[in-house]
Every structure is written in C-alpha cells, then in structure tokens.
Amino acid sequence: MTRNVEKSNNGTAGAKVDGGGPEKKIKNSAYERELARLQIELVKMQEWIKHEGLKVVVIFEGRDAAGKGGTIKRITEPLNPRICRVVALPAPTEREKGQWYFQRYVAHLPTRGEMVILDRSWYNRAGVERVMGFCTDEEYEEFLRSCPEFERMLVRSGIKVIKYWFSVSDAEQERRFQKRLKTPTKRWKLSPMDLQSRQRWQAYSRAKDEMFAHTDIKQAPWYVVRSDVKKHARLNCISHLLTQIPYEDLTPEPIVLDERPKEQGYVRPPMDDQTFVPEIHHKI
C-alpha cells in the first residue's frame, strides 16, 4: 500500500494509507530508540567518508514546511561539523546575480573526506525563481538544459550527489503554517516567500513536475520522501542515506584512561575574583 501525498485542497490532513484512515504514527519511545541507532550508523558513515576521502553532496528540496530542516538537524546532531557541514545560502547579491548561475554553489562543494548538506540548492531556479518570476524564461530553460550536465560533471569528478525531495500534502502544510503562526519560537520560519507558496500550490506543483522531468537523471536521481508524518520522514530519509554510501565500521576500540595525576603546587584563585552567571534557575 502507498500513501497519498500532495493532495489538492480537497484532501484531508495527515498522510493516508490507500483504502484506510490516517497513518498510524510511530510511538515516541520507538522513534527515539531507532533514531539513536541510526545516528550511531551516521557516525560510522562519517568516519568512512573521512577515511576514504569521499566527497558527498546531499541536496534537500521540497515544499515549505515539508520537514527538511528537522531531518537535517537529526542527521547533523551526532556528526563532526568539520566533516559534515550544512550550507543554506541567502538570496544572491547583485554581484552573484551577474555570475554564472552555478558559480556561487561551486564554492561550497566538498573537498576530500567531507559531506556537504545543501538546505536548498541550485534548484531554487526551477522552483521559487520560476514560480515567483525572479528569472526570465530564457534563464529557466537554460537551467533545465545545463543542470543535468552540471550534475553529471560533478559525478564524473568523483562527487557523490544525493537528492531528496520532501513531499507534503497541502492540508498538512497548512496545519504546520498555522502552528507556526501560533508559536512565537517558530514564527520566524514563515518568510514572505513561504506565504506566497501557500497561495501558489498548483504553480509549485507544475514547476516540481517539470523539474523532475529534466533532472531526474540516472547519475543523480531524485528520491522522494513522504513527509506528512515528520518522524517517519526523518527515519526513512536517514535510513536511505546510509544505503547510498557503503561504509565499514571504523569505530575505535574503547580507551582505558589512566588515573589522573594529583595536582601539586597549584592553588586555585579565590572564587570572589571571578564573575559567575547568576544561578536563577538552580532551585527549579
């Protein structure tokens, strides 16, 4: 059975199983247990990437509020930021607008022994720029022609390109937008572009379909992550990512620490000479 995603406005909230009701969500305890297991495997994969000098690019795309950021956070939590780094570029500057379109992304590609996660990528041109009219028809058509060749070139150069599209229904996206509006700590996530995407669901759907038709190539295929249930999406995406880079366990053997030597001749300065943060919560 498969789930229905990216329904029209007539769809109901939450992921559905064909012929049934809303999908049953994983229990929190089971989710935390499986996430912990997968994060251990991510660390093993990281060490293999470093050891073998691999170069990996992982692209995260999808609708606003589809759950990309939460998945990226769970991937990077246990990893060394010197090996795995996240790139989330702002809108291009005037100078960057005059460059070759892919130029500002090239500067962030991985070196040997590194994995780079792109939170949005060069696919902005096929999505928000196309729908919002931020590029010309000629620029858009050139992107569709050149992007597959650009990615093939990256692959030939030894860079592993992994692309994820997070697919969320319009009903679930609306629920998440409303939740962000009501939650002060999440309200910053709603940018003007997010609000525009809410009004242009079908336009974004057409743009995504056209993008897939041109860029879902054998050397760097698109992998769709059903994301109406965030926890399922996170586990499924991480599990799949681990299959894309065959790795061996290079975890060091446990280390036995020697007993610390006793301090000799050291006198700690008076506590009153230091400025401490007020402990206003120590009695909670």
Residue 232, domain CATH? 3.40.50.300
Residue 177 near residue 197, CB atoms below 8 Å: no
What total number of domains does the chain contain?
1
Question: Which of the four pLDDT bands, split at 50, 70 and 90, describes residue 218?
Answer: very high
Residues near 128 by beta carbon (within 8 Å), at least 6 away in sequence: 134, 193, 197
3-state secondary structure of 162: strand
Tell me what the mean pLDDT of segment 24-40 comes to: 96
Q: How far is CA 213 from CA 3, 119, 126, in A?
A: 22, 22, 11
Retrieve residue 268's tokens.
């700690």
Highest mean pLDDT among 49-58, 193-202, 244-253: 49-58
Q: Check pLDDT > 90 for residue 238.
A: yes
Q: Please tell me the least confidently modeled range out of 119-128, 174-183, 235-244.
A: 174-183
Give the separation between CA 271 and CA 104, rounded to whole angstroms. 50
Average pLDDT, the chain: 90
Q: Beta partners for 223? A: 164
The answer, yes or no, to whether residue 9 has pLDDT greater than 90, is no
Instruction: Give the rounded percent of residues in the chain with a pLDDT score beyond 70.
Output: 92
Asked whether residue 217 is domain-assigned, the answer is: yes
Structural domain including 138 reads: 27-244
Residue 133 forms part of a structural domain = yes
